[in-house]
Structure 1
Amino acid sequence: AKTTPEPLRFPTIITRAIIKGRRPWIPGGETMAFFNGGSRALVEILTRFQSAERPMPVDHTFFEFGSVRYHVQASASDPENVYLSISTPSLSHEASPSTGLPEFTLQEATKMYHKFAEVVEPSKEGYALTLKLNFSGLARPKDRARAVRQVSLLQSVILGSQLKHLLGSLGSSGATKLVYNHRDPFFVSRTPGKISAIFPMRFRDDTDLAVATSFFQELQDAGSSYARAPRCSWSAIPPPELRGEPVHHLTTNGGFVSFDIFERHVKRKRAAKTAWILLNFQAYVKYHIKVSLLHRSGPSERW
């Protein structure tokens, strides 16, 4: 018989990734895809290409989330090399130049994929980045499957590097709107001594809102228990940092969740972990609501 999963706790991510400096908790299976923005279509195309009995040509363009464009190309005469190109909007005007990708993003991609890919310069016309993939050096099928999953995270790698850089180079004042998911933008701003990450929260109905409000209270209580954790606060009205922002950006039914990020959270390896947490916070809240409601509607009707 199936068992109802227990609701997850976001403090797990906070304590492991920021307080203790450990690798962020990353769920597996379908949960992994829910958080990290991996492209399932890309996994399917690359897996099918690798498992083909005979070399097959590939020349495929597809879109995801309306504005992310991929192009996959390979020839039957050179089956070991697959060319993957991506075009994706930047998080903000401040996060990336108007043409191409900044050097720090190219370095991040090189570091992530150096075992089986190289950056092609210049990239394919009309795309921000092109990688030449070659999985022939990975003998074990599970290593190839892992590499394909890593490649499916390319958009997350690009945007994560932009956020990591942005957190370390924000101006002295003012808020910057960031768009990772077009339906759920968030803001970061720098004030003396800290960076604030502010999430306008929107929910589809009162049930989701009730679960989320209880969860936000948990976050506030958990944050106060750890001296080194980012302070979390929730407010029904926009915080002062968002004063002057357009009204339509600040219209919510779930208020605003804010995290105070200090310098120690954006130094060295912690910067990447902090960026990962911020990019996935809203997705995590939605997942928490989903699992909590499944738990409540189980056979025992327990909360």
Structure 2
Amino acid sequence: MLLLQYHNLLLQSILTERFAPDAQPASIDQIISDFDNVTYHVSTPESKTKVLISLAVKCYKDLQKYGVDERLKAMYGKYAISTPEAGFDFSLVVDLEDLPPTQEEKDVLIQKIALLKRNALAAPFEEAFSEFDELAAEAAKNSLDLSVPEASNAEVKAINYREEESIYIRASFDRVTVIFSTVFREETDRVFGKVFLQEFVDARKRAIQNAPQVLYSSKEPPLEIRGLPGLRSSEDIGYITFVLFPRHITRDRRDTCISHIQIFRDYFHYHIKCSKAYMHSRMRFRVAEFLKVLNRAKPEVEEERKITASGRRFGTR
């Protein structure tokens, strides 16, 4: 199985080719699809030396509630443009004649642009972590017992990033809870999903005790989001809950934590499909082996023998 990357590999490849010292300016007009209904458009509408990179995210209106525009503009600086390309949510323009002087700086810029989707979806997580800092400081000031869970009045951030699927984030003074709703289109997917998620729980009990707590509920949504409107309750939907404690979201770990947890849903369903494909290949292999055995087990047809008038015997084939 492959390891899914946080950045878009095709976008990274295109920019690396364009940023090469010996690269010749050329026209480009390419649409790139990514996970979670995300689309990129890489083009040169004005001139061959100015590359326009645009991003379209299904849940961008949800992300705007948590300051995604301000965060992206602050992160990409002079490359961000105020009015995005028509049909897209955010756009960058890179002038090939005004690139950073060193190759190392160019690589950093390429990696940052390739992480555009990740950085956009990070906005609600970063805001939830900021809320956690404020609530934890207030709790410490009021001498609250951090070992006793307490209901938080913090807003539940809902990101409807896929059709019928969402991410819910809620901050408290002692944890940040992240809940994924996911739809299983087939019964076998639901069975595989339960096996994988049980392994998350067992692995934490056996050896990885510092890992976040993982909970799974089928059909019924968790208590943290049960009061939200529009939640589905059906056999084909499941809710996966990650409980991030302070040790998981220290300031030096937050970027890595956001990257890991964002890709969870895609990685989860990717493993389900890979497991099904592997089982099908093994089944086909076993069927082929059984057919070989059956072919070798066929009884040979006895030769039919005839007797002539003189009593001699001979066989016919």
Which TM-score band applies after superposition, normalised by the shorter structure? Answer: 0.5 to 0.7
Quote the offset at 1:216 in angstroms.
0.8
Q: Provide the TM-score with structure 1 as the length reference.
A: 0.66
1:106 — aligned with what? Answer: 73
Change (3 A) 1:293 1:146: farther
Overall identity of the aligned pairs, in %: 19
Specify the code of the residue in structure 2 equivalent to 1:119. Answer: Y
2:143 — aligned with what? Answer: none
2:53 maps to which of 63, 76, 84:
84
2:159 — aligned with what? Answer: 178
Spell out, residue by residue over 1:120-148, the C-alpha distance to the aligned partner (whole angstroms, 9 max, x if none): 454557653424253685669xx989965
Change (3 A) 1:146 1:184: farther
2:196 — aligned with what? Answer: 215
Report if aligned partners of 2:248, 2:254 keep a CA contact under 8 Å in 1. yes
1:289 maps to which of 248, 267, 272:
272
Quote the offset at 1:250 in angstroms.
4.9
2:147 — aligned with what? Answer: none
1:72 maps to which of 24, 29, 43:
43
- Counterparts of 2:80 and 2:52, CA distance in 1: 9
- Counterparts of 2:176 and 2:100, CA distance in 1: 44
Q: Structure 2 matches for 1:113-262, cutoff 5 A? A: 118-120=78-80, 122=82, 124=84, 128-134=90-96, 137=101, 151-169=113-131, 172-225=153-206, 226-236=208-218, 237-251=220-234, 253-262=236-245
Spell out, residue by residue over 1:157-186, the C-alpha distance to the aligned partner (whole angstroms, 9 max, x if none): 222244223333267434221133344211
Quote the offset at 1:217 in angstroms.
0.5
Change (3 A) 1:250 1:37: farther
Change (3 A) 1:182 1:109: farther
Change (3 A) 1:166 1:239: same
Specify the code of the residue in structure 2 equivalent to 1:261. Answer: L
- Counterparts of 2:252 and 2:95, CA distance in 1: 26
1:274 — aligned with what? Answer: 257
Superposed CA RMSD in Å reads: 3.9
Report if aligned partners of 1:178, 1:186 keep a CA contact under 8 Å in 2. yes
Quote the offset at 1:198 in angstroms.
1.1
1:38 — aligned with what? Answer: 8
Q: List alignment gaps of at least 5 residues for structure 2.
A: 133-151, 287-317
- SS of residue in 2 equivalent to 1:294: helix
Spell out, residue by residue over 1:40-74, the C-alpha distance to the aligned partner (whole angstroms, 9 max, x if none): 4x56865786799853345x585857675646336
Count, aligned residues = 255
Q: List alignment gaps of at least 5 residues for structure 1.
A: 9-26, 111-117
Quote the offset at 1:84 in angstroms.
3.0
Specify the code of the residue in structure 1 equivalent to 2:118. Answer: S
Report if aligned partners of 1:109, 1:158 keep a CA contact under 8 Å in 2. no
1:55 — aligned with what? Answer: 25
Report if aligned partners of 1:95, 1:163 keep a CA contact under 8 Å in 2. no
Report if aligned partners of 1:109, 1:157 keep a CA contact under 8 Å in 2. no
Report if aligned partners of 1:213, 1:254 keep a CA contact under 8 Å in 2. no
